[in-house]
Amino acid sequence: MDAITLYRHPLSGNSHRVEALLSFLGLETHLVDVDLMAGEQRQPEFLALNPNGQVPVLVDGDVVLTESNAILVYLATKYDVNRNWLPTQPEAAAKVQQYLSLTANEIQNGPAAARLVTLFGAGLDHQAVINAAHKTLGFINAQLRHHDWLAGQEPTLADIAVYAYVAHAPEGNVSLDAYPKILAWLTRFESLKGFVPMQSSAVGLAA
Ligand SMILES: N[C@@H](CCC(=O)N[C@@H](CS)C(=O)NCC(=O)O)C(=O)O
């Protein structure tokens, strides 16, 4: 089998979630860093892969996929034969989708957006996105009172998709101190076999 190729940026949480699943599944992967600061995502070669000009992009043989959550569903459906990461039982499957939706709106416009301000100087209202982040973190913390993992008793794509922007929220001046259930969940997630961390911004900005 040809190695899968993942086009990514090392500080991108959307890329990290795909990288994390590839690692959990033990799939050999060729990582290609796209220099977003230099605008490589707007060059014709990259736009041929993703006309939307964003990472991540996954290439698996003839299949070229964009949108991180769609890529997670593809990989879990194709390669996770036991469907541990994407359960088929209706309620559990819906719970996973609930968190994939949460990442695409509330998490993207909360902790991820706060980090865009501090790391990349995005012209957003920093306090407004910090407030939005805390609303979502409060919700997640409350959900974790009932079970160890976001979608139930076992880790799923929900945990993979939510992890990076929550773990790295402090880089956007969003403290996690008020969320003990989240802090315990982060430790549990980081203890899973095959876990790969996302690069911290301190390393990225110094590079
Ligand atoms: N909805 C997309 C969002 C992807 C995204 O926002 N990618 C960012 C990095 S995290 C990017 O490539 N930004 C470069 C740009 O928009 O120019 C997904 O989930 O994959």
Tens digit of pLDDT for each residue in 41-93?
999 999 999 999 999 999 999 999 999 999 999 999 999 999 999 999 999 99
Q: What is the mean pLDDT of residues 98-119?
A: 98
Please, what CATH class does the domain formed by 90-190 belong to? mainly alpha
Distance 181 CA to ligand 1 centre (A): 28
Task: Judge whether residue 200 has pLDDT over 90.
Answer: no
Atom of ligand 1 nearest to the CA of 52: 16
13 Cα–ligand 1 center, Å: 9
Topology (CATH level 3) of domain 4-81: Glutaredoxin (3.40.30)
Mean pLDDT to the nearest integer, 180-197:
98
- Taking the model in full, what pTM does it have? 0.96
Residue range 134-177, pLDDT digits in tens: 999 999 999 999 999 999 999 999 999 999 999 999 999 999 99
As a whole number, the mean pLDDT across the chain is: 96
54 CA to centre of ligand 1 in angstroms:
4
Q: What is the pLDDT of residue 122?
A: 96
Residue nearest to atom 11 of ligand 1 (CA): 54
Contacts of 17 (CB under 8 A, 6+ apart): 68, 69, 72, 103, 160, 161, 163, 164
SS3 annotation, 88-114: CCHHHHHHHHHHHHHHHHHHCCCHHHH
Question: Rounded to whole angstroms, how far apart are CA atoms 46 and 193?
Answer: 33
| pLDDT score, position 1 | 63
The whole-number pLDDT of residue 207 equals 34
Out of 14, 74, 100, mutate this one to test ligand 1's pocket (max ligand atoms within 8 Å of CB): namely 14
Ligand 1 geometric centre to CA of 16 (Å): 11
Do 129 and 110 form a contact (C-beta atoms < 8 A)? yes
CA of 129 to the centre of ligand 1 (A): 17
What is the helix (H) or strand (E) element at residue 64, kind and residue range?
strand 63-66
Q: Given a cut of 70, is residue 25 above it in pLDDT? A: yes
Residue nearest to atom 6 of ligand 1 (CA): 54
Domain ranges of the chain: 4-81, 90-190
Q: Of 45, 86, 79, 49, nearest to 64 (Cα)?
A: 49
Around ligand 1, the residues with Cβ closer than 6 Å are 9, 12, 14, 36, 41, 53-56, 67-69
Residue 50: name the closest of 64, 39, 63, 62 by CA.
Answer: 64
